[in-house]
Amino acid sequence: MATESAVSTLSVHDAEHDHHEELSFLRKYVFAEDHKTIAKQYLISGIIWAIIGISFSVIFRLQLGFPQLKLEFLRPLIGNWIDETGKLSPDFYLALVTMHGTIMVFFVLTAGLSGTFSNFLIPLQVGARDMASGFLNMLSYWFFFLASMLMFVSLFLETGPAAGGWVVYPPLSALPQAHMGSQMGMTLWLSSMALFIVSQLLGGINYITTVINLRTRGMSFSKLPLTIWAFFLTAILGLISFPVLLSAALLLIFDRSFGTSFFLSEIYVAGEALPNVGGSPILFQHLFWFLGHPEVYIVMLPALGITSEIIATNSRKPIFGYRAMIASMMGIAFLAFIVWAHHMFVTGMNPFLGSVFMFLTLIIAVPSAVKAFNYITTLWRGNIRFTPAMLFSIGLVSFFISGGVTGLILGNSALDIQLHDTYFVVAHFHLVMGASSAFGLLAGVYHWFPKMFGRMMNEKMGYVHFWMTFIGIYCIFFPMHYIGIAGFPRRYYAFTSNDFTKNIFQDMNSFISIMAVITFSAQFLFLYNFVYSLIKGKKATQNPWHSNTLEWTTPVVPGHGNWPGEIPAVYRWPYDYSKPGAKDDFIPQNVPYSATPESNLPHENELISLEKAIEAQNYNDQFKQPH
C-alpha cells in the first residue's frame, strides 16, 4: 500500500487539510471528534451539573440546619414541593438527597473529572494525535449527554425524581406504590444510568486503547506520567465494574416493569401481598457495590494522578517514589474489587463474609497511606510555588488523610455496627472521596486551563477560592463526625422524632448549613474567574509552569493533531525537576540524555546509546504531521 501511495498520500493529505479547515460549526464544536473539544464539553457539563448537585445539598442543608425556617422563597424554584406552611416536603427532601448523590458521584466526579482530564491529557501526555477512536469518543460524550438529559427531565416530574438514596436499593426503588420517588422518576433514573454506563464504557475502551497503543516513541510505561497511570487504571476499573451496575439496573428494570422477582420476595405493601417470592434484595446490594466501591476509586484515582503531577511540578521536585506510586495505585485498583461488601456489614450478610471483607478492606489502607506519605515527602525540601492548583492539591492530600483515617474505623465491622448509616459515614466519604476528588478536579482546571484555553486563570481569585473552600469544607464535614458519634442517622428529614437526637446539635447543624452556603457561594468566585479568564485572562505562554510533560511542548493552544510537525520522542521520565547539575530546574521528557551530559546520572549515560533506536521507531505517527 505504501509503495503506490507516496504521491496520493500527499494529495489526500492536502484534501484533508482543506476538509479540516471547512469543518462546520456543528462538527467542530458540537459533534466534535477532537479529544480536546470533547474534554471541554465534559468539563462544562460537569460544571453545570456541579452547580445543580451542590445547590440541592444547600437546599436540604437549609432544612437540616434551620428546621423552622420558612422556605417560601424557594417556591419559584421548586414549586409545590414547598407546602402551604412553607415547609419542604419530606418526599422532596429524599429526592434532593438522592439526586445530590447521583449527580455528584456520576455526573460530576466521574464524567466531569475522568471525562475531562482523561480526554484532554491522555493524548497530550502520551504523545498521540488524538484518541484511538475519535468517533467512539464523540459517542461517549453524547451518550453522557442523553443520560444527563433524562436525569434532568426527571427533576421536573410531578412525582419527583428518584428518591430512594443514590444506592437505589430495592424493594423501595422497585415498588412505585411504596414511594413517590419510585414512580416515573426511578424509571428515568435507571434509563439514564444505563446510557451513562454505555458512555463510560465507550470512553474507557478508548482511554485504555490509547494508552496502550498510541504512546509516542520512547514513551514506555515506566516513563508515563502518574496522571496517565491513574487514568489508565481508572478506565480499567470502570470497564470491569460498570457492566455489573448495568446488569443490576437491567434486572431492576425487569422487576419494576416485567414482573420478575430478582430482588423481590415476600412483600406486603399498600394492603396487598405481592406474588413475588425467591428474590433477594441483598443480591442487588452486592451487584450495586461491586460497582459502587470501585466507583469510589474511579473518582479518586484521577484526582490523585492529577495531584501527583501538580505537586511534583510546583515543588520543583521529582515525585517521591514514582514506582511505589504506581504500585500503590495498582494495589488500590486491585483491592477495590474485593472490598465491596464492607458497605453491607449489617445487611444480614453472613458474618463470616463480613470478617473476610474487613481484612481486605483494611489492607487497602496500606497503599493509600503510602501515597499520602509520598506526597508529603515530595514537598520535603522542595521549592514550593503556591499556584492555585498547588493549593488545591495540598488541600486534597489533607482531605485524603483526614477523611481516609476514619475509613479504618468504618472498615472495622465491629465498629461499623454502631456507625453504619450515621453521619459519621457521611463525614468520612465526603472528605475522602467527595471533597478530595472535587479538589482534584479544581486543581486540574487551574493547572491545565492555560493549555485548554490559552489563557491564565487569575491567581489571586484562585487563592481566595481555595481558602474559602478549604476552610469551609473542613467546617462542614469535621463536625459531622460528632453528630455521627451521637448516633444521628443519615437521610433523616428531621431529628425531632427521637429523643436521642432531639434538642441536641441543632446549633452544630445550623453552623454546618451556614458553612455550606458560604462554601457554595465561594464556588461562584471560581465560575467568575473561569469565565473572566476565558475571555480576558492573561495570555498563556507555551509552558507556564515549567513542566516536563509532553503537553507543554505543543503550541500554546494545540490545534487538531496536537503537534504541528512530528510528535516529539520521549527519552526520560517526567519528573526530572531540580536535577543536580542541570541549568534549569526542569528537563522536559523530550530532551535526550545526550543533550544534558552535565546532569546525567551514571545509569542514564548508558541510555544515550538507545536514543537512535527510539528515534527510529515510528509506530504511531505514520503521517509525521497532523492530519
Interactions with another protein, residue window 265-294 (CB under 8 A) = 265-269, 273, 277-282
Kindly tell me which of 402 and 562 has the beta carbon lying closer to another protein: 402
Closer residue to another protein in complex, CB, 76/580: 580
Shortest distance, position 210 Cβ to another protein, whole Å: 27
3-state class of 539 per DSSP?
A: strand
102 or 398, CB closer to another protein?
398
What minimum distance in Å lies between the beta carbon of 368 and another protein?
Answer: 9
Would you call 38 helix, strand, or coil by DSSP?
A: helix
Three-state secondary structure call for residue 598: coil
Per the CB < 8 A criterion, the answer to whether 299 and 218 are in contact is no
Q: What is the nearest approach in angstroms of another protein to the Cβ of residue 214? A: 27
DSSP 420: T
The Cα diameter of the chain in Å comes to 86
**Distance of alpha carbon 203 from its chain centroid, rounded?**
13
494 binds another protein (CB under 8 A): yes
| Separation CA 102–CA 185 (nearest Å) | 13
Distance of CA 541 to the CA centre of its chain: 28
CB of 63 to another protein, least distance (A): 11
User: Which residues ranging from 508 to 567 are in contact with another protein (CB under 8 A)?
Assistant: 508, 510-511, 514-515, 518, 521, 525, 532, 536, 538, 541, 544
Q: Which residues between 582 and 621 bind another protein (CB under 8 A)?
A: 585
Query: Of 213, 498, 605, 617, which one interacts with another protein (CB under 8 A)?
Result: 498
CA distances from 241 to 234, 255, 286 (A): 11, 22, 12
Q: Is the peptide bond before 123 cis (omega within 30 degrees of 0)?
A: no
Q: What DSSP state is assigned to residue 195?
A: H
CA distances from 208 to 124, 234, 609, 618 (A): 15, 9, 31, 20
Residues of span 114-153 touching another protein by CB under 8 A: none
Which member of 45, 436, 458, 523 binds another protein (CB under 8 A)?
Answer: 458
- Nearest one of 548, 354, 314, 340 to 447, comparing CA atoms: 314
First to last CA, the chain: 18
Q: Least distance to another protein from the beta carbon of 514, Å? A: 5
Q: Which of 179, 215, 286, 293 binds another protein (CB under 8 A)?
A: 179
Q: Does 254 bind another protein (CB under 8 A)?
A: no
Q: Is the peptide bond before 171 cis (omega within 30 degrees of 0)?
A: yes
Q: Which of 105, 104, 96 is nearest to 162 (CA)?
A: 96
Contacts of another protein in 368-407 (CB under 8 A): 369-370, 372-377, 379-386, 391, 394, 397-398, 401-402, 405-406
Answer yes or no whether residue 207 interacts with another protein by CB under 8 A.
no
Which amino acid makes up residue 56?
F
Find the part of the chain contacting another protein (CB under 8 A) among 35-43, 100-108, 246-254, 419-427. 419-427
Closer CB to another protein, 318 or 561, in the complex: 318
| In the complex, least distance from residue 40 CB atom to another protein, rounded to whole angstroms | 23
Given the complex with another protein, which of 279 and 588 has the nearer CB atom? Answer: 279
Is 212 among the residues that bind another protein (CB under 8 A)? no
Asked whether 545 and 447 are in contact (CB, 8 A), the reply is yes
Is 353 a binding residue for another protein by CB under 8 A? The answer is no
| Residue numbers 420-449 binding another protein by CB under 8 A | 420-422
d(CA 493, CA 237): 35
Size of the site for another protein (CB under 8 A): 132
The residue among 5 and 541 lying less far from another protein, judged by its C-beta, is 541
Extended beta strands in 319-380, E state: none
What DSSP character marks residue 269?
E
Return d(Cα 264, Cα 3) in angstroms, integer: 65
171 binds another protein (CB under 8 A): yes
CB of 154 to another protein, least distance (A): 18
Q: Is 330 an interacting residue with respect to another protein (CB under 8 A)?
A: no
Shortest reach from residue 43's CB to another protein, in Å: 22
CB nearer another protein, residue 128 or residue 344: 344
Least distance to another protein, CB of residue 574, Å = 12
Residues 59-98 interacting with another protein (rule: CB under 8 A): 90-91, 94
What is d(CA 305, CA 283) in angstroms, rounded to the nearest whole number?
33
